[in-house]
Amino acid sequence: MQLVIGSDHAGFNLKQHLVPWLEKQGHKVLDLGPSTPASVDYPDFAAAVARAVANGSAEQGILVCGSGIGVAIAANKIAGIRAAQCYDLISARLSRQHNDANIITLGERLVTPTVAEEILSVWLTTAFEGGRHSQRITKIHALEAPDAAANS
C-alpha cells in the first residue's frame, strides 16, 4: 500500500521508528518530514499529508505529534479527510470499520513504538464495513460543502 507519513518535532522519533517498520511490512512510504527534530509547526505537515491522501498520491496517511490531537484537527480541515486519533487497538479498528478513516494520528507521548506498531497493524488491515456507516460518511462529507455553515 502507498502510505504518506509526517510529524512535528514532538512526533519525530516515533515517525523515524515507523518508516522502516512500515517498509518492512511491504508498504511504500513517502515521508513528508520533518527531516530533523528541530521545532516545527504541526499544521504544515498535517496539511501536506492530508493533501497527499485527498489528491490520491497516497492511499492512507499517518501523522504523529506529541498527543495526536493537533495533527488530527489540522488534517480534518482538508476536504475528503477523515483523520482519527488512535491510542489503542479498539480505536484503530473502529476508526476504519465505522468511520473509514483515511489518516491515523498517533501521539508519541501516549504510545510506545511497540504499541504504535500494533495499532498500525490493526488499522492498516481493517476494512470499512459500509452499510449503515456509508450514509454517515456521506453526511460528514456534506459538511465540507461551502454553504454547509449557512445551512446549519
Residues acting as catalytic residues:
65, 98
- Residue indicated by cell numbers 483515511: 102
Concatenating the DSSP letter of every residue in 132-151 gives HHHHHHHHHHHTTSTTTTTT
CA distances for 143 relative to 32, 78, 85, 119, 152, angstroms? 28, 12, 20, 29, 9
Cβ neighbours of residue 92 under 8 Å, at least 6 residues apart? 86, 104, 119, 120, 122, 123, 126
User: Within 10 A of 117 (CB to CB), how many other CB atoms are there?
Assistant: 15
